[in-house]
Structure 1
Amino acid sequence: MNEYFEKYFIKATVSEPIRDVDQSSKPFISYLVTTETDNPSLIKLTTKVTETQIKVSVRRRYGDFRNLYHCLNNDFPFLLIPPLPSKSNLKYLTGDTFSQEFVHKRLNSLNRFIKFINGHKILSQSSVYHLFLSDSNDWLSFSKNIKISNISDVEKEQSFTSNMVNKVVNEELIAETVMNFLTPSKHKKETNKEILEITDKLKKMYENLLKLDKIFARLSKKNSDLSIDYHLFSQQIEKLAVVNETCNTDLVSINDNFKFFAECLNQYSENWSKSFTFINESFLTSLKDCSKYIVNLTNLIELQHNKKIDLQVLQEYLDKARNELNSFPATSSGQGTHRLPPSPIKNKTGGIVNNTTQLIRDTLSTSANGNISSSNTETKRAKLEAKVHQLEHEVELQTNLVQELINKITNEEYPNWDKFNKTELKSSMLELCDNQIDFYKGLVDNWNDTESKLMKRINELT
């Protein structure tokens, strides 16, 4: 995958939301996903298979993005999957899902979602992402047949109180939650220096983003209020012109001045409204999205920490089982009975947590009785030896998993997020600067034009 990422490029963007209706005449919003690429894996899925570089455009609904998110989340549970914009149920009840504000906010978030995947070495080369970008009808068939777990709302997975980054079955989640809750506090402290540094940086960045969000939310509200005030002021001036025209039909020039001044106030109102729209729909959305990315990365770190706790608990039970095995009296041959461990416990999801929980239960049941009679000592010794072997096997698997997670976070996921986050924040800040420059330049130009015309009319009167 890394070779393809370095050798070929994928540039995909989301734009042009339009309102449409499905076969049952139910309205929905679709977004235009435009992709330029020379990736042969993606070109094979499109209709233009003879070209070495293509540009393909397809329309995707929010549900298509959600299916892509779930597939990536299931296929790559140990990677940072970019968050989707939350599906506001309240908006659906009030009918605001087709408002310009809601649609544009979602558009910006979806475009950021795609942009993150484009820059990820693994996610950008996944087959499901290529199918999503292609104009092949296979994506529609795939979406209809895909099975999503009981977690239907994206916001449940992206909640700020969530501590798990990947979806797990209920039994596994309950087992891990209970185990970690009952685990002594000595296991819950992170010890890896690199992980601690990353966590500290994420915390500070998250706090700063929250402060920025509050500041610009107040600024946005102020801009909205000024826009409304200027509009109301303009209406009053227009009414004054009408009243003056009714009472003094001879003073036509004064009435024209009133109307001209009202038009200038309307321009001020429009400028303040544009500033509010940009900050509210674009800049604040980028800040909130960056915060959600931090939360998802924090959840990935929390997942690593939970697996580390599992490893520590397993190691303790292994040490306990070894000590108990060493306390057994020697057999008649002077050698312990060594048997191969039973087959590892399998579950439908292939998770380690259930295996770990089952091992602990079996270990406790094996060592629960302290009085071992001489008649079945050898049998129980053999069972305990098998359990020690199995625990050793699981400790090895869990150790490799924890180390893999740490390496992925420190060497891949965090650097990739850091690069993306800096690029997005820089781009958002530059757009904000350009918007504010245009905004105040427009105000100055508008005022200069208003002042010159009003002074000209005053001179004419004098």
Structure 2
Amino acid sequence: MSEDYVEWDVHATNDALTPRVEYDDPLSQFSESESRYYSPYVVAAAQNTPPLPPIIPSSSPILDSMDSLPTSTTPPTPTTKLPFVPPKSKPVELGKIEAAPMDIAISDPQKHQDATQGAFITYLVTTNTQVEHFHSSTPRPVRRRYQDFVWLHTTLSLEYPACIIPPLPEKHRLEYIKGDRFSSEFIQRRQLSLQWFLDRIARHPSLQKSQCTRIFLESNDFKNDKRAQVLNIPHTTSIIDSISDTLVNAFAKLKKPDERFEDMKDQISKLEDNLNTVEKLYYRINKRQLDLQNDYTSFANSIQGLSALETNITNSLHQFAETSKAYSKAMKDMTDVEEMQFLNEIHELLAYCHAAKDVLKARDQKQLDFEELSVYLHQTVQLRDRTQYPGRKYNDRGMAAGGLYISDYVTDKLNEVRGVNMERARREKLGKLELRVKELQDEVTKANDDSNAFSNQVIKEFEVFQKTKMLELKQGLLAYADCHIKFFEKGTEIWEKVLPVLESMDGIKGDGPTDNN
């Protein structure tokens, strides 16, 4: 048997077509019997129609309309040979790819004033790395403003659509922005968030090797280099972009959802729910700490007022009041560190979850594109077959069922009345449909390959997401524990200083009457 043909046998049982050669998908969650893909035009070819190259996806969810074939009323041809079009690309092999060591530090924020652009802040970015394509393992420090970070995020999103691109700070939840954008608190928060952004890129095995990343981290002519890099990013379009909204519907559902990616969505949703719960509980704790700070301040003011009445222990009471104020300030400092390091990290993790869900939605859209294109191809093949054999009616599975379509009959009669050359019109229409079918066959194969490659990359991305999530959760909890430990150590030191003053009060005699008994 020629390598360019696949021989199909027709069994008496269920009149189903079964290929002798099966194609296994190592990533498919379906059984072996479900992994055999049938195309409607393959069935039509078994009904003595001219051979047509079938599309046999290497691995993709099976459409509901193609899972099984109904019983045909016309006896099928015993054996039909059809040319086989192999997939254009193989699925990407899954494997653990570790990121090369890379350390990026952001420091020294400076305010600049420009006559045209106004005021803006730049940050000093220093890199140490072992990524091969960098010109040096210790590139010269560069200064970047926030808009440069936006450029890096945008270009990485275009270059790696299947990657989870770390989100930028303040671009996801604006309610976290506090104060003027040139205030020290705002700059400190933004610097810390930008540091998390670059740390995630540094830990990503693909993003750290991007030319966009290299240009951002070491280019001394950043303005011209970034313009040239954007021009080098390919922008591809396919037939799926030209199909009407009736075919590609953003609200359409997948016919065969992949359980692996559905499980990923569930895990991310549960993580989001837990992070939102932690955030709500932290706000409750933070409110109680704020109330406690105010109570200590009020307590200190009351002691201060008492010292004015007790003139013999005024100094001792004054020192105790100052100690209470110092303790309240230490508690405020602890709360500020919590918000800066722990709470902000919770917000960044939530934004990271949103970015991961966006990638999963894009993967679903890739699969949906394949499914919708396959249905569109099925409909086009049916129209071609009705045009080629006007005396035969095909059912919804592409099989001959006898009779005529009433729409085709009415159209033919109207054309006859108008004096249209029916044979010539049929040949022209058939030629256009043949070209359309061939184009759609190529697009279905391409959409299938794109969907497989995208899915493989998303699986790797989820592994990176899990590692990053665990590392950042550990860092956030350690920061939370450290700031509390430092607070209690400082609180102990504060109160120990006032103990000698309080103990000395035992020897102080008051002005009032004493008991001589």
Which category describes the TM-score, using the shorter chain as reference length? 0.7 to 0.9
Distance 1:13 1:94, change over 3 A: closer
Distance 1:268 1:396, change over 3 A: same
1:172 to partner: Cα distance: 5.9
Structure-2 residue corresponding to 1:290: 349
Q: Is the 8 A contact 1:220 1:280 kept in 2?
A: no
Map 1:415-434; keep pairs closer than 5 Å: 415-434=463-482
Deviations 1:365-391 (A, max 9, x none): xxx966343342111111111111111
Map 1:33-112; keep pairs closer than 5 Å: 33-43=125-135, 53-54=137-138, 56-87=140-171, 96-112=180-196
1:304 to partner: Cα distance: 1.1
- Return the match for 1:17 from 100, 103, 109: 109
Which deviates further from its counterpart, 53-62 or 210-219? 53-62
Stretches of structure 1 that go unaligned for 5 or more consecutive residues are 45-52, 149-165, 332-367
Structure-1 residue corresponding to 2:273: 207
Output the CA distance in 2 between the equivalents of 1:14 and 1:395. 46
Q: Is the 8 A contact 2:100 2:130 kept in 1?
A: yes
Map 1:433-448; keep pairs closer than 5 Å: 433-448=481-496
Output the CA distance in 2 between the equivalents of 1:99 and 1:226. 27
Structure-2 residue corresponding to 1:179: 248
Q: Secondary structure at the match of 1:21?
A: strand
Q: Is the 8 A contact 2:104 2:127 kept in 1?
A: yes
Output the CA distance in 2 between the equivalents of 1:173 and 1:282. 47
Asked whether 1:32 is paired with 2:124, we answer yes
Output the CA distance in 2 between the equivalents of 1:108 and 1:177. 46
Stretches of structure 2 that go unaligned for 5 or more consecutive residues are 1-96, 391-406, 413-421, 511-517
Distance 1:180 1:138, change over 3 A: same
| Aligned-CA RMSD value | 3.5
Output the CA distance in 2 between the equivalents of 1:382 and 1:293. 51
Q: Secondary structure at the match of 1:279?
A: helix
Paired amino acid for 1:328: T
Distance 1:94 1:408, change over 3 A: closer
Deviations 1:307-364 (A, max 9, x none): 2222211111111222222233459xxxxxxxxxxxxxxxxxxxxxxxxxxxxxxxxx
1:434 to partner: Cα distance: 1.4
Aligned-pair identity in percent equals 26
Structure-1 residue corresponding to 2:331: 272
Structure-2 residue corresponding to 1:220: 286
Q: Is the 8 A contact 1:217 1:280 kept in 2?
A: no
Output the CA distance in 2 between the equivalents of 1:202 and 1:234. 47
Output the CA distance in 1 between the equivalents of 2:155 and 2:212. 7
Structure-1 residue corresponding to 2:213: 129
Distance 1:24 1:234, change over 3 A: farther
1:267 to partner: Cα distance: 1.3
Q: Secondary structure at the match of 2:162?
A: coil
Map 1:298-447; keep pairs closer than 5 Å: 298-329=357-388, 371-372=411-412, 373-410=422-459, 412-447=460-495
1:407 to partner: Cα distance: 0.6
Structure-2 residue corresponding to 1:197: 263
TM-score of the superposition, structure 1-length normalised? 0.74
Output the CA distance in 2 between the equivalents of 1:439 and 1:108. 22
Q: Secondary structure at the match of 2:248?
A: helix
TM-score of the superposition, structure 2-length normalised? 0.66
1:270 to partner: Cα distance: 1.4
Structure-1 residue corresponding to 2:19: none
Paired amino acid for 2:249: N
Output the CA distance in 2 between the equivalents of 1:448 and 1:129. 52
Distance 1:63 1:458, change over 3 A: farther
Deviations 1:181-235 (A, max 9, x none): 574xxx3366212111111111111110110011112222332333344334434
Distance 1:16 1:190, change over 3 A: farther
Output the CA distance in 1 between the equivalents of 2:433 and 2:242. 28
Name which structure has the greater RCO, CA cutoff 8 Å, separation 6+.
Answer: 2
Output the CA distance in 2 between the equivalents of 1:456 and 1:119. 58
Residues matched between the structures, number:
384
Distance 1:326 1:221, change over 3 A: same
Q: Is the 8 A contact 2:100 2:205 kept in 1?
A: no
Output the CA distance in 2 between the equivalents of 1:285 and 1:458. 48
Structure-2 residue corresponding to 1:188: 254
Deviations 1:110-156 (A, max 9, x none): 1110001101111101112111111x4311344688989xxxxxxxx
Output the CA distance in 2 between the equivalents of 1:31 and 1:196. 40
Distance 1:422 1:175, change over 3 A: farther
Distance 1:9 1:297, change over 3 A: same
Bigger radius of gyration, 1 or 2? 2
